Structure 1
Amino acid sequence: MRVDSLRTASGPTISWRAIECWGAGISLFLQAGALLPLLLADADGTLSESAKSILRLPCFPIYAFTIVILIRNFPQFLTALRRNLIVPLILVLPFLSTLWSIGPSTTLRRAIGLLFCVLLSYVLAIRFTPRQLLFLLFVTLGTSIVLSVVISVVSPSLATMPDGAMRGVFIHKNVLGWYASLMILVATAMLLDGTLGLRRTAFCLWAAGMVCLASSGSMTAIIATSVAYCLIGFYTLLQRSSSIGRVVIVLFFVQLSLGILISLHEFLVPALEALGKDATLTGRVPLWELVDREISDRWLLGYGYQAFWTTMNPEATHMWLKIGWAAPHAHNGYRDILLSFGVVGMIPFVLMLPHAIRQGASLHCHDTQYGWLWLNVLTIMILVMNLTESIFFVQNDAIFILFTAAIIMFSLYAPVVSISHSQPRQAPSHGLTSGLQIS
Structure 2
Amino acid sequence: MGVASLRTASGPTISWRAIECWGAGISLFFQTGALLPLMLSDADGTLSESAKSILRLPCLPIYAFTILVLIRNFPQFLTAVRRNLIVPLILALPFLSTLWSIGPSSTLRRAIGLLFCVLLSYILAIRFTPRQLLFLLFTTLGACILLSVVISVVSPALATMPDGAMRGVFVHKNVLGWYASLMILVATAVLIDDKLGLRRTAFILLAAGIICLASSGSMTAIIATIVAFCLIGFYSLLQRSSSIGRIVIVLFFIQLSVGILISLHEFLVPALEALGKDATLTGRVPLWELVDREISDRWLLGYGYQAFWTDANPEATHIWTKIGWAAPHSHNGYRDILLSFGVMGMIPFALMLPHAIRQGAFLHCYDAQYGWLWLNVLTIMILVMNLTESIFLVQNDAIFILFTTAIIMFSLYAPVVSSSPSPSWQASRVAV
Q: Describe the SS at the equivalent of 2:415.
A: helix
1:33 corresponds to which residue?
33
1:431 corresponds to which residue?
427
**Is the 8 Å Cα contact of residues 416 and 431 (structure 2) preserved in structure 1?**
no
1:240 corresponds to which residue?
240
Q: Describe the SS at the equivalent of 1:158.
A: coil
Quote the Cα distance in structure 2 between the aligned partners of 1:259 and 1:200.
39
2:231 corresponds to which residue?
231
Q: Describe the SS at the equivalent of 2:331.
A: coil
- The alpha-carbon deviation at position 368 of structure 1 amounts to 1.8
Q: Describe the SS at the equivalent of 1:300.
A: coil
- The alpha-carbon deviation at position 247 of structure 1 amounts to 0.2
1:51 corresponds to which residue?
51
- The alpha-carbon deviation at position 385 of structure 1 amounts to 0.0
1:348 corresponds to which residue?
348
2:358 corresponds to which residue?
358
Quote the Cα distance in structure 1 between the aligned partners of 2:241 and 2:113.
43
Task: Show the 5 A alignment for 1:257-336.
Answer: 257-336=257-336
**What are the superposed Cα offsets for residues 157-185 of structure 1, whole Å, 9 maximum, x if unpaired?**
00000000000000000000000000000
1:169 aligns with 2:172: no
The letter for the 2-side match of 1:201 is T
Quote the Cα distance in structure 2 between the aligned partners of 1:76 and 1:198.
31
Quote the Cα distance in structure 1 between the aligned partners of 2:430 and 2:89.
28
Quote the Cα distance in structure 2 between the aligned partners of 1:429 and 1:397.
30
The normalised TM-score by structure 2 is 0.99
- The alpha-carbon deviation at position 433 of structure 1 amounts to 2.3
**Is the 8 Å Cα contact of residues 357 and 376 (structure 2) preserved in structure 1?**
yes
The letter for the 2-side match of 1:61 is P
1:79 aligns with 2:75: no
- The alpha-carbon deviation at position 10 of structure 1 amounts to 1.9
**Is the 8 Å Cα contact of residues 308 and 339 (structure 1) preserved in structure 2?**
yes
- The alpha-carbon deviation at position 377 of structure 1 amounts to 0.0
The letter for the 1-side match of 2:18 is A
Quote the Cα distance in structure 2 between the aligned partners of 1:227 and 1:4.
43
Stretches of 4+ aligned residues off by more than 6 angstroms: none
**What are the superposed Cα offsets for residues 183-241 of structure 1, whole Å, 9 maximum, x if unpaired?**
00000000000000110100000000000000000000000000000000000000000
**What are the superposed Cα offsets for residues 244-299 of structure 1, whole Å, 9 maximum, x if unpaired?**
00000000000000000000000000000011000000000000000000000000
Task: Show the 5 A alignment for 1:2-41.
Answer: 4-41=4-41
- The alpha-carbon deviation at position 434 of structure 1 amounts to 4.3
Task: Show the 5 A alignment for 1:94-113.
Answer: 94-113=94-113
The letter for the 2-side match of 1:59 is C
**Is the 8 Å Cα contact of residues 83 and 412 (structure 2) preserved in structure 1?**
yes
Q: Describe the SS at the equivalent of 1:10.
A: coil
- The alpha-carbon deviation at position 9 of structure 1 amounts to 1.9
**Is the 8 Å Cα contact of residues 417 and 429 (structure 1) preserved in structure 2?**
no
Q: Describe the SS at the equivalent of 2:14.
A: strand
1:198 corresponds to which residue?
198
Quote the Cα distance in structure 2 between the aligned partners of 1:434 and 1:130.
16
**What are the superposed Cα offsets for residues 286-313 of structure 1, whole Å, 9 maximum, x if unpaired?**
0000000000000000000000000000
Task: Show the 5 A alignment for 1:383-422.
Answer: 383-420=383-420
Quote the Cα distance in structure 1 between the aligned partners of 2:405 and 2:376.
12
Q: Describe the SS at the equivalent of 1:159.
A: coil
Quote the Cα distance in structure 2 between the aligned partners of 1:63 and 1:134.
22
**Is the 8 Å Cα contact of residues 167 and 175 (structure 1) preserved in structure 2?**
yes
Quote the Cα distance in structure 1 between the aligned partners of 2:368 and 2:195.
12
1:381 aligns with 2:381: yes
Quote the Cα distance in structure 1 between the aligned partners of 2:38 and 2:245.
49
The letter for the 1-side match of 2:427 is G
Aligned-pair RMSD on alpha carbons?
Answer: 0.8
Quote the Cα distance in structure 1 between the aligned partners of 2:93 and 2:13.
42
**What are the superposed Cα offsets for residues 110-145 of structure 1, whole Å, 9 maximum, x if unpaired?**
000000000000000000000000000000000000
1:64 corresponds to which residue?
64
1:92 corresponds to which residue?
92
> Alignment identity in percent?
87
Q: Describe the SS at the equivalent of 1:414.
A: helix
Quote the Cα distance in structure 2 between the aligned partners of 1:335 and 1:158.
33
The letter for the 1-side match of 2:299 is W
Task: Show the 5 A alignment for 1:124-143.
Answer: 124-143=124-143
Q: Describe the SS at the equivalent of 1:391.
A: coil
Q: Describe the SS at the equivalent of 2:157.
A: helix
The letter for the 1-side match of 2:386 is N
Quote the Cα distance in structure 2 between the aligned partners of 1:216 and 1:432.
41
- The alpha-carbon deviation at position 2 of structure 1 amounts to 5.4
Task: List gaps (5 residues or longer) in structure 1.
Answer: none
Quote the Cα distance in structure 1 between the aligned partners of 2:108 and 2:232.
39
Q: Describe the SS at the equivalent of 2:280.
A: coil
Quote the Cα distance in structure 2 between the aligned partners of 1:433 and 1:102.
45
Quote the Cα distance in structure 1 between the aligned partners of 2:72 and 2:427.
20
Task: Show the 5 A alignment for 1:107-122.
Answer: 107-122=107-122
Task: List gaps (5 residues or longer) in structure 2.
Answer: none
- The alpha-carbon deviation at position 320 of structure 1 amounts to 0.2
The letter for the 1-side match of 2:119 is L
Quote the Cα distance in structure 2 between the aligned partners of 1:146 and 1:226.
22
2:181 corresponds to which residue?
181
**What are the superposed Cα offsets for residues 138-157 of structure 1, whole Å, 9 maximum, x if unpaired?**
00000000000000000000
Q: Describe the SS at the equivalent of 2:300.
A: coil
- The alpha-carbon deviation at position 109 of structure 1 amounts to 0.1
Q: Describe the SS at the equivalent of 2:254.
A: helix
**Is the 8 Å Cα contact of residues 3 and 15 (structure 2) preserved in structure 1?**
no
The letter for the 1-side match of 2:75 is P
**Is the 8 Å Cα contact of residues 416 and 429 (structure 1) preserved in structure 2?**
no
Q: Describe the SS at the equivalent of 1:111.
A: helix
